[in-house]
Amino acid sequence: MKRILGAVALATAGAAFFVGQWVVQWAWTEPFSWADNNISDLGEVSAPWHQLMNTVFVLNGVLVAAGAVTLFRGVVRYLLLAAAVGCVLVGLAPADVDENTHVVGAALVFVLGNLGLIATRRRLAVLFGVVGLIATGLHVTRHGLGIGVAGMERVAVYPLFVWFLIEGVTRLREKSAS
């Protein structure tokens, strides 16, 4: 039962991450640009519905932690737990309120989360983790490569949450088949 709950938690974290952004982005009165607006812009206290986005970030942290503890062992577990802490920090410290804490949280997600994927040694996870780390480096060094720096941020973090969704659903399907 614990493993089923962990799989549901991971899948929910992945889905909530994207749905939350879409809903909050929809509430913006000015055009929101994936090339120019970072994901964190949605959680800034000056943004419409910022409370919802920050709640989603914190919820993601709790869900990823639940998935990490119930589904993984060793270094993968600890890297994903660190990423979960990063999600919580991002939600509790919006960039326009406490930028330093926010950046630490984002770094935990972007770097240790993607390293966690690589540490699984599963082909798709490794691919996603490598793409995420390369994109993190490009984002931090302000290289948008035609999609904007904020677009590169999405390439850095979206594979992580796509993988959470895929991994959670895959584990649920395996449990229902057995």
Instruction: State which residues form the domain around 22.
Output: 2-177
CA-CA-CA-CA dihedral for 119, 99, 14, 162, to nearest 10: -60
C-alpha to C-alpha distance for 59 and 45, rounded to whole angstroms: 18
pLDDT by residue for the chain (178 residues), tens only, comes to 899 999 999 999 999 999 999 999 999 988 899 999 999 999 999 999 999 999 999 999 999 999 999 999 999 999 999 999 999 999 999 999 999 999 999 999 999 999 999 999 999 999 999 999 999 999 999 999 999 999 999 999 999 999 999 999 999 999 887 7
The total number of structural domains that make up the chain: 1
Q: Assign residue 73 a region: left if phi > 0, alpha if psi is -120 to 50, beta otherwise?
A: beta
Contact criterion met (CB below 8 Å) for 87 and 57? yes
C-alpha to C-alpha distance for 147 and 172, rounded to whole angstroms: 35
pTM: 0.95
CA distances from 32 to 19, 37, 155 (A): 15, 7, 17
pLDDT (0 to 100) of residue 176: 80
pLDDT (0 to 100) of residue 133: 98
